[in-house]
Structure 1
Amino acid sequence: MARPRIDPVVWQPDRAPHRARQGSGGRPMPPVRLRTLSGQGPEDVAVDSRGRVYTGLADGRIVLVTDDHTETVAETGGRPLGVEVQRDGRLVVCDAVRGLLRVDPITGRLETLVAAGTPVDGAPLRLCNNAAVATDGTIFFSDSSQRFTLAHWKADLLEHSGTGRLLRRDPDGRTGVVRDGLHFANGVALAADESFVVVAETGAYRLIRIWLAGPRAGGVDRLADNLPGFPDNLSRGTDGLLWIALGSPRNTLLDLLSPRHPALRRAVWALPERLQPKPADTAWVQALDVDGRLVHDLQTRVPGFSMVTGVREHRGRVWLGSLHGTAVATFDVPAAD
């Protein structure tokens, strides 16, 4: 597949925090158990009210993960990424090829909510990535890039042109833009009281908070900034915390080249794949409280599992997904300091 041209934008990232150069947090990640799947690329994980775990695979399948096998519940015909559970048990699926979908895991029935390519405020839905579902059925979801497809996600990080968006689909089917100009819009999560929605900007190492209700409604601020790694999917746990999948620590070369002449990043993009910067061999998640204070910082090396792109806490257990893995991982939440 030919690589698209990139037109890098010069920008000055903040100096990476010291944590970006460490291999673990202040305490070790608890023992991690793997559940091998009958497929590859469980990018996200979702857990329903009964504790059943779902994920989407690179071959288009949505699967139920049990102790000893995976059971296919639906096939999207595309590439499912983010998976969320509605109050009625149906799944909202962000598919990088098909768009925003809804799946009934009992019947396998597939419904297209917003098809890929559908104009939303004048620009097409191009890379549907992650979502959060409000109690009234409103769906907030990310459109990561207007420039590149999932196959070339690295190009968006190198270019830093800020074409990602946070979109909103109302229960009546109307769809609009909540926030644009985002640097690879990725994970999405709602506050427990739904007073704000958070979206991860993977390419800017930050979490943006958009206020939906209360005295600050309509305002925007940063819940977390200058993160030590690349934030991917987000989720609100049953513990009330905001969990962040950190796909990899910050890349020193990328931070070094970002404020320099764009030709340097074009040269990096032209290198053979084996010579380009790669995610580190690590599994890393963090959890924040509603004010952005760090509660958990858990990182380790797990043989056979790395590049955490999805995280979900459910009743004291954390589930992890990986864009390139062949298993989902799980561990028990340690007591907070």
Structure 2
Amino acid sequence: MFAENERLAAAFIHLLNIGTGPEDIVRGPDGRFYTGYQDGRIVRFAVDDGRLVEGSAQEFVNTGGRPLGMQFDGVGNLIVADAFKGLLSVSPTGEVSTLVAYTDDPSLRFIDDVDVAKDGIIWFSDASGRFGLHDYIYDLIEASATGRLLSYSPATSQTKVHLRDLYFANGVALGPEDQYVLVNETGASRVTRLWLKGAKAGSSDTFIDGLPGMPDNISFNGLDTFWLAMPAVRNRAIDALADHPFVRKLLGGLPAELLVPADHYGFVVGLSLDGSVKFNFQSASGSYHTVTSANEYDGHVWLGSLAMPSVAVLPLQDLKYNKLGIGSGRD
């Protein structure tokens, strides 16, 4: 199911050295693609058949923070989960407004990812109730389980908490017809589902568990696949300390740079609607690693990364693979 392979090495690199850390990539109603960088810039660019249109990249706006997950709402505003500024809305003309500010709600510490329902409700994650972006690794080490899944209503300006006690709540994606919403628990290597409609509405369950990596963002292709990005494989040493909370607390006192995983592994999987693995794309080559997002548009999967100075695109139609993505690769 998760057999090692080099499928991800087939990805093409674009926007080289435009900026560092294009966390998420989304396509707007104008047909252009948008991604956010460590320095606060959101850059947009044009694409033709899965390739960057040369010279099309331009700065759209700078939030003054750190834009992470992004998604467009039904009227063309770019909704941004900004780790430093809060939940933002950017108009088509680049005007930034704050929907949920950290100063308005001290319980919020780390807004991480976002998706928008057809009824306009904005779903977003608060990764940790203890640590922000710069210190996120301590939450994973301590396994504090203080993450949450929330929603924001533009109509009422009300924020509501739906799930608590999540192990570093990260990626958020609504399912078919907004029947449910998925939230990644990075620290637990699993995806949790909250049912929004039907007989199970209000209840939660596990969509997939026991992942070999630590899931970051998740996206739905609108048809039959959830794309799950895993920026790092699970750390066996930390896993072994699951029953030793005191030791984990001691590790939490070390400098963050000593705790952040240093491997340059690339890992993306595609999940079916029942949570089973459809596609398995990996690479140990380091050509594109620390993958934080995967978004499918027109037969291409666009990849973002917390660490890379570029975006990448995986052309699905050029790959020879079976349902697990294990095959002979590019012709």
Cα distance change, pair 193–53 in 1 and its aligned pair in 2 (3 A):
same
2:197 is the alignment partner of 1:210: no
Q: CA deviation at 1:277?
A: 5.0
Q: 1:107 to 1:328 in 2, by over 3 A?
A: same
In the alignment, residue 242 of structure 2 is paired with which amino acid? S
Structure 2 CA distance for aligned equivalents of residues 48 and 57 of structure 1: 17
CA deviation after TM superposition for structure 1 residue 249, in Å: 0.9
Give the number of aligned pairs.
311
SS at match of 1:232: coil
User: Are residues 60 and 277 of structure 1, via their aligned partners in 2, closer, same or farther at CA, if it must alter by over 3 Å?
Assistant: closer
Q: Structure 2: how far apart are the matches of 1:274 and 1:110?
A: 33
Structure 1: gaps (5+ residues): 1-17
Question: Structure 2: 5+ residue runs without aligned partners?
Answer: 47-51, 324-331
Q: C-alpha distance in 1, partners of 2:259/2:8?
A: 29
Change (3 A) 1:200 1:220: same
Say if 2:9 and 2:283, in contact at 8 Å, map to a contact too.
no
Q: Which amino acid in 2 is paired with 1:249?
A: V
The correspondence for 1:131, drawn from 95, 114, 117, is: 114
Return the alpha-carbon distance in structure 2 between the equivalents of residues 169 and 325 of structure 1.
31
Counterparts of 1:279-294 in structure 2, within 5 Å, are: 279-294=262-277
Does the 8 A contact of 1:239 with 1:314 survive in 2? no
2:88 maps to 101
Deviation at 1:275, TM superposition (A): 4.2
Moved more, 298-307 or 284-293: 298-307
- Aligned equivalents of 1:292, 1:237: Cα separation in 2: 14
Partners in 2 of 1:30 and 1:237 — Cα distance? 22
Q: Which residues of 2 match residues 1-337 of structure 1 at below 5 A?
A: 19=2, 23-24=4-5, 28-29=7-8, 31-35=10-14, 36-49=16-29, 51-66=31-46, 67=52, 68-69=54-55, 70-104=57-91, 106-119=92-105, 124-172=107-155, 173-262=157-246, 264-271=247-254, 275-333=258-316, 334=319, 337=323
What is the one-letter code of the residue matched to 1:100? L
Which range is displaced more, 61-70 or 184-193?
Answer: 61-70
What's the offset of the Cα at 1:211?
A: 0.4
Contact 2:24-2:305 at 8 Å conserved across structures: yes
Quick one: distance in 2 between partners of 1:155 and 1:176?
26
Identity value in percent: 39
Distance 1:289 1:177, change over 3 A: same
CA shift digits 1:188-211 (9 cap, x unpaired) = 000121010000000011111000
Tell me by how many angstroms 1:31 deviates.
1.3
- Name the CA distance, whole Å, in 2 between partners of 1:116 and 1:62: 21
The CA distance in 2 between the partners of 1:53 and 1:183, in whole Å, is: 31
Aligned partners of 1:43 and 1:309 also within 8 Å: yes
The Cα offsets for residues 264-288 of structure 1, whole Å up to 9 and x where unpaired, read as 3344344455643514211111111
Q: Please tell me whether the aligned partners of residues 46 and 312 of structure 1 are also in contact (alpha carbons under 8 angstroms).
A: yes
Q: Report the Cα distance in structure 1 between the residues aligned to 2:280 and 2:216, rounded to whole angstroms.
A: 15
CA contact (8 A) 1:306 1:322 kept: yes
